[in-house]
Amino acid sequence: METTLRGVGVSHGVAIGEVRHMGTAVLEPPAKQIAAEEAEREQGRAQQAVEAVAADLIARGNLAGGEAQHVLEAQAMMAQDPELMADVERRIAVGSTAERGVYDAFASYRALLANAGEYLAGRVADLDDVRNRIVARLLGVPMPGVPDSDEPYVLIARDLAPADTALLDPALVLGFVTEEGGPTSHSAILARALGVPAVVALPGAGELAEGTVVAVDGSTGEIFVEPSAEKRAEMESAAAARKAALSASSGPGATSDGHKVPLLANVGGPGDVPAAVEAGAEGVGLFRTEFLFLDDSKQAPSEEKQVAAYRAVLEAFPEGRVVVRVLDAGADKPLDFLTPADEPNPALGVRGLRSLLDHPDVLRTQLTALSKAAQGLPVHLEVMAPMVADRADAKAFADACREAGLQAKFGAMVEIPSAALRARSILREVEFLSLGTNDLAQYTFAADRQVGAVSRLQDPWQPALLDLVALSAEAAAAEGKSCGVCGEAASDPLLACVLMGLGVTSLSMGAASIPYVRATLAKYTLAQCERAASAARAADSAEEARVAAQMVLSGE
């Protein structure tokens, strides 16, 4: 009998197939005591396992490339964290085996994150995966992971670690469903990059029996269990129609009445550029520069290394617009040379622009490198600061850009409610705004962006979030300046129409989403988008806002 479940759709497309479950987690190793003379040998075993796992993660990242490579390299750094390793060695010195020492040390760190209010909860799934890999190697058992299958299937898991998501074979894994996670988790971002339909935050997904046929709609978040022949035909027909529309859609983004909507790509480095170019991106709306700095958390990359990486991206978009976000460190992206180690609440502490203003040499080097990278190129370079709170922040960043001799537009990200509320004041110091809807939702609703239990508050359709977008766009229009969206909200085709109706002037997203958004925008006029935006803001919940906008656009 057909039943319907609903999670959070995070990657467009339809998948219909049999359920296969992720391998079970590594068993807890026994609390066995060792003799004192065995401690040195066990410490050596632990160190070897850590190095082997880190090397494996880096190798997986090299194979995957793009966004996945950056995530896996950060995970490898987590495996080699000196404080964690020192804790492992201390536990072994007082009698633990290597595997037990690793298990307990990671458990202690995990508890520390939870006690801190889970502001680093976005890394908990990654932390568990690193632990499991190290313990499995020490125990000599197979690493749990994606199941072996000769036939395509829908993957079900509690959560997916980046190492598993990055190397999924889309020919075999038709789509995936997880019990945990959120729309901005690593797995969701990588699923979009792979073009694999995905639904997250679906409680009870693990109870679906092996071999059960399910139909997954990665756009709506609906899961149809044992779908009828009619439902399967309906979904397959809709998927075919969508594919045909995508194929027919090309060129610059625009509404049906010719209102231009530049569609830009979010990239993490040169490895993401080919997919963006292939998708027809009109430029880059968010160039995350953290990938360079995460290679070595002990020191900032040299100016020469930065120039080479930046130029590789700028050269790919001649005459195009490339918006670079300067280093956004802190919270879930700590760097030893930049980030305070003892902050009780990192997400609300010294992160983003605050870190850079505390370390002006790091900011100056990055801005100088960007200036040199753009020399002689026809690209339209724009540089923006993360986590701008007020006009003073915006002025400090603009002053730093001018002092570095940067010939570019200077902008500010709107990720803190205060920036949206005082956007016009901020725009007296900078030339554009870019809305980071992921963090803006997190700070608006006090809901960690990686915690599945509060995913409903991370839904970018929340009317309160739309109100803040509207405030920012209205302020930009009043000042004659631009206001784009570079958060994951822009990757939702229906929401993209609403954002345009709110006055947003450009949209930036993962490359895989660009064709979907382009095709959808081309179906509606600007006036229709504006009416849909008004209907969404008048709603009282995210779901009501989504339905209201859909009704307006469908003419109901």
Q: Cα separation of 170 and 172, whole Å?
A: 5
Contact of 325 with 286, CB cutoff 8 Å? yes
| Cα(97)–Cα(76) distance, integer angstroms | 23
Q: Which residues are tagged catalytic?
A: 186, 486
Between CA 462 and CA 328 the distance in angstroms is: 25
CB 196 within 8 A of CB 173: yes
311-324: b or e for each residue (b if 16 or more CB lie within 10 Å)? bebbebbeebbbbb
SS3 content of the chain, % helix, strand, coil (to 5): 50, 15, 35
Q: Which H helix or E strand runs over 249?
A: none
Q: Residue 25 gets which letter from DSSP?
A: P
Contacts of 34 by beta carbon, 8 Å cutoff, 6+ apart: 42, 92, 95, 96, 97
E strands, 198-308, are 198-200, 213-217, 222-225, 263-267, 283-288
E-strand spans in 122-220? Answer: 153-157, 173-178, 198-200, 213-217
Q: Are 261 and 507 in contact (CB under 8 A)?
A: yes
How many H-runs (helices) and E-runs (strands) does the chain carry? 22, 16
For 518, half-sphere exposure in the C-beta direction (CA atoms, 13 angstrom radius) is 26
Q: How far is 442 from 348, CA to CA, in rounded Å? A: 11
Is residue 99 within 8 A of residue 139, CB to CB? The reply is: yes
